[in-house]
Amino acid sequence: MDFKVLAVGDVVGTPGLERVRRNLRRLKRRWGADFVVVNGENASAVGITPNQAQDILDAGADVITLGNHTWSKREIVPYMDDCSRILRPANYAPQVPGRGWAVYPTAAGDVAVIDLIGRCGMDYGPDNPFLLIDKILKQVQAKIVLVEIHAEATSEKLAMGYMLDGRISALWGTHTHVPTADARVLPKGTGYVTDLGMTGPRDSVLGIRPELSIAKFRGDLPERYRWAEGPTKMEAVLFNIDSATGLCRKAERVDEWD
């Protein structure tokens, strides 16, 4: 029996949240998804609040993942300790709040979700995700194992995918907000895509008003980023996983644009 996992790209600002509220359950029904993981770390443009996290869960997400903006809204800290359905990168320092991975019961058995952050070009030094993931997997008994790596470098995501090929069910990348065209099953049976993309303003630079990004690259006076208005999009990948083996049969993009 196939177990279908829908992985949804980074939700950006109020437009992204509205898109999730209006469309996630419909998208879930359309593709018959059994389990949904949404990256929510940009729900406030940078960071996420407890109310925003609850909105995403209420809209149909089973798990919310975060990344380099995890701590941008400090009010999320107690919520992360209380709610097992929101994950921050597992390779953050061990003394920080929250959890980096968890196991969730489903009709197809336990599903493990692990959140990692890359180190290339991320401006700081979290623990090595390539070493940490081996330690985590030794503790995981679930047949279905899903891994997100929130990373800048495509090479880092690809390397992680090939290292884990055949050992996990699916791995996807987030962070760049630009969808990649390489959704596929790796040679040993792990579903893979380098980047999911984003959920939010369609006519934007990574969700932000284009003129603000242009001004930054021109060297103009800095201005607070604001998300773009207008049509929106939701970019996601659907993984069909064999619940008996835990390996992926198919990975396909299921993007929707206004």
Catalytic site includes residue 69: yes
- Whether residue 100 is predicted with pLDDT greater than 90 in this model: the reply is yes
Q: Looking at the 3D structure of the chain, how many domains does it have?
A: 1
HSE-CB of 243 using CA atoms within 13 angstroms? 13
CATH number at 243 reads: 3.60.21.10
pLDDT for 226: 87
Which pLDDT band, with edges at 50, 70 and 90, does 121 fall under? confident
User: pLDDT for 59-85, tens place per residue?
Assistant: 999 999 999 999 999 999 999 999 999
Residue closest to 182 by CA, chosen among 163, 161, 202: 161
Average pLDDT value for the chain: 96
The single residue of 69, 150, 175, 177 carrying the catalytic annotation is: 69
pLDDT at 21 over 80: yes
The parent domain of residue 90 ranges over 2-257
pLDDT at 58: 98
